[in-house]
Amino acid sequence: MSTADTRQGLHVENLEVAYNGVPAVRGISFEVNAGEAIGLIGPNGAGKSSTLLAIMGATPRTGVVTVHGHDISGLAPEKVVRTGLALVPEGRHVFTELSVMDNLRLGAVARRDKSTYKSALEHVLDLFPILRDFGHRHAGLLSGGQQQQLAIGRALMSDPDILMLDEPSLGLSPTAVDTVFEALDVVRKAGKAVLIVEQRAEFTIAFSDRTYVLHDGVITLSLKPEDADNVEVLTEAYFG
Amino acid sequence: MNQLIQSLVDAISAGAVLGLAALAIGLVFGVIRLANFATGEIITAAAYSLILTWDLGWYISIPISIIVAVLISLLMELAVFSRMRNHGPATLLIASFGLSFLLQRVYELIFGNNVRTAPIASGLAQSVDIGGIRVQMLSVTTIVLAAVLLIALQLFLTKTSLGLQLKAAAADFKTARLVGIPAGRVIGLSFALSGILAAAVAFVLTVQSGAVGPSFGVRITILALVGAVIGGIDKISGSLAGGFLVGFATSMLASWLPQEMTNFKDAFVFVLVIAVLLFKPSGLLIKGRGVVRT
């Protein structure tokens, strides 16, 4: 892919990931454009998390990944973040011994425009008011839902154009899941692209503009929001 | 009573030195999972620098020894460990053993097998009377030096962006990179800080002994490594506390064991270590059994 590529958003072409020679992702292709939410669902071991980690440069891969037309192959994760991608990892992985504010400060390390730090911080604190209330609390003392909000807030502090989330609803109460997805809707409506990997199929299909089903590292189906209530489609998605 | 207080001051001082040495190891381990056995050779290099340049004045000699320690530390990372980034902690540890032996031979070639001597800060070897209790000036200086360094390090880690990045990387390196913290920057920083701490340790040890040979830094590194492990090498504070505990225990045993048993003081310390490893293998300051990181 040359740097003359003028496409916007995230483009993944023929992505392959293998661990010790065992394929985890087998040549998948998809795109995520500004202002849209894309879901990736599938059973355990389907290759969902590997896809996100490979896009971030955190695991070896082949294939082409471009952000706004720029090939990011071979870039280290910390450089990928600077191209406009951010990942909220599975399990949240906030820095538990640091305060909420310090976690958010660290998220801003990769900001391309440092002059807008304060307004970005205000935006995140407006989106997740609980983080303002608990700003000086150790992140490890937050509940799972609050930690998820912090992890998303930290990712937003880098001012990404494309926000990727790995299992954002994992281990959260229904109320916390609602809070998280309401915030993601705001993010999407602000023009950012959102790529969500989830186990909760109905929820993801209903939220996303398109949802891809992964099976054994291959995209087997593409679903629309109206498929969320279609039991046959969901059964097909998960059991083939 | 006086003897008890004197031995307590000495033990705190010994604990402070070993705490600093363990911290030098723990800082690097936190970031790249390297228990750098060659930290001893950074200490030795700083000690040689002090001994060989002391005639120029302490205000020249001490900065030179710090610069040498930082440069050797960074050179180790650049020449050896940066090329082994994808290897596990065991491989990195073995590599650091190799590097340690290699550097000892290099020092032997350059400076010879015999020790080099110089009266480093000889004024600190005297005792002072504090409230009727005689304590070694060096012990007091060591405690003050360690306290200043720890406060400075704490301020750096909590108040500066670079320090926060290092702290985050030491807690979870993989996530730190995903957040956008540059790996090379924090790794280099951890080695540089490790070098500064090693130089401080070298200063105290050189004042104590006034002599340096090729294997000068080996014993304290073994004890510091042990301290870091029993304190919890996964945490910066764990390494510091473990190092302090081992130094404190060694010094107290040297003061209070019967004369005929003082040669076995290290053995007693290692019994303590075995006990800790049996009942708390992840380290005293790590909650639970610790997390295996890849």
Tens of pLDDT, residues B23-54: 999 999 988 889 999 999 999 999 999 999 99
The pLDDT assigned to B85 comes to 82
Per-residue model confidence as pLDDT tens digits over B189-214: 999 999 999 999 999 999 999 999 99
Could you tell me if A95 lies within 8 Å of chain B, comparing CB atoms? yes
CA distance B276 to chain A (A): 24
Q: Is B183 on the interface with A (CB under 8 A)?
A: yes
Mean pLDDT per 10-residue interval, chain A, length 240 residues: 66 95 94 94 92 95 94 94 96 94 96 89 95 95 95 96 95 91 94 93 91 93 86 70
Beta strands B127-130 and B133-136 are antiparallel
Checking if the pLDDT of B290 tops 80, the result is no
8 Å CB contact of A58 and B177 = yes
Give the integer Cα–Cα distance in Å for A172 and A197.
15
Partner residue facing B164 (CB), from A56, A81, A106: A106
List the end-to-end C-alpha distance of chain B, in Å, as a whole number.
Answer: 50
Side chain identity, residue B225? L
Residue A136: DSSP 8-state? T
State residue A237's pLDDT score: 66
A39 reaches B (C-beta below 8 A): no
What would the two tokens of residue B86 be?
A: 């994808």
Distance CA A162, CA B78 (A): 34
CATH number corresponding to A10-233: 3.40.50.300
pLDDT computed for residue B136 by the predictor: 86
- SS3 assignment for B21-72: HHHHHHHHHHHHCCCCCCHHHHHHHHHHHHHHHHHHCHHHHHHHHHHHHHHH
Whether the Cβ atoms of residue A211 and residue A233 lie closer than 8 Å to each other: no
The C-alpha atoms of residue B70 and residue B64 are separated, in whole angstroms, by: 10
A97 lies within 8 A of chain B by CB: yes
State pLDDT tens for residues B59-82. Answer: 999 999 999 999 999 999 999 999
Between helices B2-32 and B161-171, what is the axis angle to 10°? 80
Please report the pLDDT score of residue B283 as a whole number: 79
- What Rg do the C-alpha atoms of chain A give, in angstroms? 17
Work out the minimum CA distance from A132 to partner chain B, whole angstroms.
Answer: 19
CA-to-CA distance for A155 and B152, rounded, in angstroms?
Answer: 30
Global ipTM? 0.91
- A123 inside 8 A of chain B by CB: no
Say what the pLDDT of residue A209 is.
95
Residue B164: per-residue pLDDT: 94
A58 vs B contacts (CB less than 8 Å): 174, 177-178
Chain B closest-CA separation from residue A136 CA (Å):
13
Whether residue B2 has pLDDT greater than 80: no
Structure tokens at B28: 């690097």
Shortest Cα distance, chain A CAs vs residue B12, angstroms: 27
Q: Which long-range contacts (CB under 8 A, 24 or more apart) does A121-124 make?
A: A121/A157, A123/A156, A124/A153, A124/A156, A124/A157
Q: What is the per-residue pLDDT for B276?
A: 85
Listed by start position, the domains of chain A span: 10-233
> B69 φ, ψ to 5°?
-60, -45
Query: What is the per-residue pLDDT for A1?
Result: 46
Give which of A19, A93, A112, A124 to mutate to test B binding, by max B Cβ within 10 Å.
A93
Confidence of residue B293 (pLDDT cuts 50, 70, 90): very low
Q: Which of residues 123-162 of B touch A (CB under 8 A)?
A: 161
pLDDT in tens, B234-252: 888 899 999 999 999 989 9
Q: What is the pLDDT of residue B285?
A: 72
pLDDT at B122: 85
**Given A77, A95, A107, which is nearest B177 (Cβ)?**
A77
Structural tokens at position A218: 């291959």
Q: Does A102 touch chain B if contact means CB atoms closer than 8 Å? A: yes
Per DSSP, the three-state class of A161 is: coil
pLDDT at B289 over 70: no
| Model confidence pLDDT, tens digit, residues B252-261 | 988 888 888 8
What pLDDT is attached to residue B291? 40
Query: Which phi and psi (to 5°) does residue A157 adopt?
Result: -65, -20
- Dihedral sign, Cα of residue B273, residue B277, residue B282, residue B285: negative
Backbone angles phi, psi at A95, to 5 degrees: -85, 100
Q: In whole angstroms, give the CA distance from residue A96 to residue B214.
A: 42
Per-domain residue ranges of chain B: 16-221
Contact in structure between A110 and A82 (CB atoms under 8 Å): yes
Q: Is A93 on the interface with B (CB under 8 A)?
A: yes
Which whole-number Å values give the CA distances from B250 to A50, A63, B87, B195, in the listed order? 49, 58, 34, 24
Grade residue B152 by pLDDT with cuts at 50, 70 and 90.
Answer: very high
